[in-house]
């Protein structure tokens, strides 16, 4: 995905092409990895902390990112904890969406002419890639757990997905939703996603939060026993930052 020039906020001062490109990298890193500190970004992007903070100040001023108080349940040293930076709704809008106003209008027409069943059928067809490709990807990547296979599939479709461990199982995290604007009005899209995940895993799962409804990340809880993970098994190449459901507005 690339930053859409038509949606990117206009800065109050001239920006060099190099600075603009770096700010896109900073914003994209937050999109893909979730709320991040300046130190996280500096390490990830191989930039100095001072350079990252300068770009973050600019992104804050234009409304692309916002500061959040970090939450941690581990012991901290002295001093105030570093603030995390998360994309705002405006910041997410700056990234190219797969669905625009035309898609919303089309679904409204479908709802008016075909009713709830027609919208539901469309939502199920759109997410059919999960069931259609799950076994093939699992065969191609035997080292991935079923949850990681899902993360792989969703990442290929633009969701920037990852898997994190929970005391009760695992959590599938989607840092980006390419249909968030449409799903805000048509929650059938989110419902179909959840059902598709449950179906391929053969177990009930619980959607805790969605970007479409204002949360910072889409999270789905996969209870213990669903993925067959071996004890001590690493989270794999699709692992990413673990969002805090309480922080992002999800129910505890």
- Coil, strand or helix at 78: coil
Beta-bridge mates of residue 227: none
Q: In this model, does residue 225 exceed pLDDT 80?
A: no
- Residue written as tokens 């994209």? 28
Domain ranges of the chain: 17-93, 101-223
pTM for the model stands at 0.57
Answer yes or no: are the C-beta atoms of 243 and 217 closer than 8 Å: yes
Given this model, what pLDDT does residue 34 score? 85
- The reply to whether CATH 1.50.10.10 applies to domain 17-93 is no
Q: 3-class SS at 123?
A: helix
Segment 48-61 mean pLDDT: 93
| 3-state SS record for 9-71 | CCCCCCCCHHHHHHHHHHHHHHHHHCCECHHHHHHHHCCCHHHHHHHHHHHHHCCCEEEECCC
Over the stretch 88-143, which tens digit does the pLDDT of each residue have? 888 877 765 544 678 888 999 999 999 999 999 999 999 999 999 999 999 999 99
Query: Which of these, 149, 158, 176, 150, lies nearest to 243 by C-alpha position?
Result: 176
pLDDT at 239: 42
- pLDDT, residue 100, reads 60
- The pLDDT of 162-185, averaged and rounded, is 89
């Amino acid at each position: 995905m690339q930053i859409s020039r038509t949606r990117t906020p206009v800065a109050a001062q001239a920006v060099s092409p190099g600075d603009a490109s770096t700010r896109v990298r900073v914003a994209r890193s937050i999109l893909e990895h979730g709320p991040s500190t300046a130190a996280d970004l500096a390490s990830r992007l191989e930039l100095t902390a001072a350079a990252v903070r300068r770009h973050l100040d600019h992104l804050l001023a234009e409304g692309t990112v916002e500061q959040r108080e970090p939450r941690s349940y581990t012991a901290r040293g002295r001093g105030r904890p570093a603030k995390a930076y998360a994309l705002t709704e405006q910041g997410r809008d700056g990234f190219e969406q797969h669905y625009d106003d035309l898609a919303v209008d089309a679904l409204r027409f479908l709802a008016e002419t075909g009713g709830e069943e027609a919208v539901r059928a469309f939502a199920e067809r759109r997410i059919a890639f999960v069931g259609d490709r799950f076994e093939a990807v699992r065969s191609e990547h035997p080292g991935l757990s079923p949850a990681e296979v899902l993360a792989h599939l969703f990442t290929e479709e633009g969701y920037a997905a990852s898997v994190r461990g929970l005391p009760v199982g695992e959590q599938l995290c989607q840092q980006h939703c390419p249909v968030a604007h449409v799903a805000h009005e048509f929650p059938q899209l989110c419902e179909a996603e959840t059902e598709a995940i449950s179906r391929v895993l053969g177990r009930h799962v619980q959607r805790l939060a969605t970007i479409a409804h204002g949360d910072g990340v889409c999270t789905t809880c996969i209870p213990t026993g669903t993925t067959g993970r071996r004890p001590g098994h690493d989270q794999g190449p699709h692992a990413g930052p673990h969002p805090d459901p309480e922080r992002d507005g999800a129910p505890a």
